[in-house]
Amino acid sequence: MDIKLGQGVIDSSRVKVLAWLDKTIKWIHTNWEDLKVATNREKKETIIAIMILRKIIAGDDVSDYQKRFLKAQIGDIIKILFHISLKFIPLPIPLSAIAIFLGKKLGVNVLPSSQNLSR
């Protein structure tokens, strides 16, 4: 009896994971261009942040704006690493989506944001 119950749970989980993967594939197809733009933006902002960090380590002067930019970008990098780390938790539920939902409910932005590069 227990074996049949366990198999039912496994089958149910498998169906849920497959449905989630199907939704994920559709979402990526729909949002691919936005993903490319956001990834490219984060890459550029991270390069700028590394350049500012290099200035600080070298003892060069940095403006208050550069310090704020660096702090904000470090926050974005931490958010990205948080979402990546969720992918390594072996659960049949989309933890990133849950984290985003809960963050919105609590008023916390768990997604990387765009820094102002026009300065």
| Per-residue tokens: 85 | 């780390």
Q: What is the pLDDT of residue 6?
A: 62
Tell me phi and psi for residue 111, to 5 degrees.
-105, 150
Interior/surface letters 65-84, b for 16+ CB within 10 angstroms, e for the rest: ebeebbebbeebeebeeeee
pLDDT tens series, the chain, 119 aa:
455 656 666 777 788 888 888 888 888 888 888 888 888 998 999 999 999 999 999 999 999 999 999 999 998 898 888 877 776 766 656 667 777 777 777 787 777 777 776 65
Cβ–Cβ < 8 Å for 52, 62: yes
**Alpha carbon distances (Å) from 6 to 44, 66, 91, 103, 114:** 48, 56, 16, 34, 46
Q: What is the pLDDT of residue 61?
A: 96
| Amino acid occupying residue 49 | A
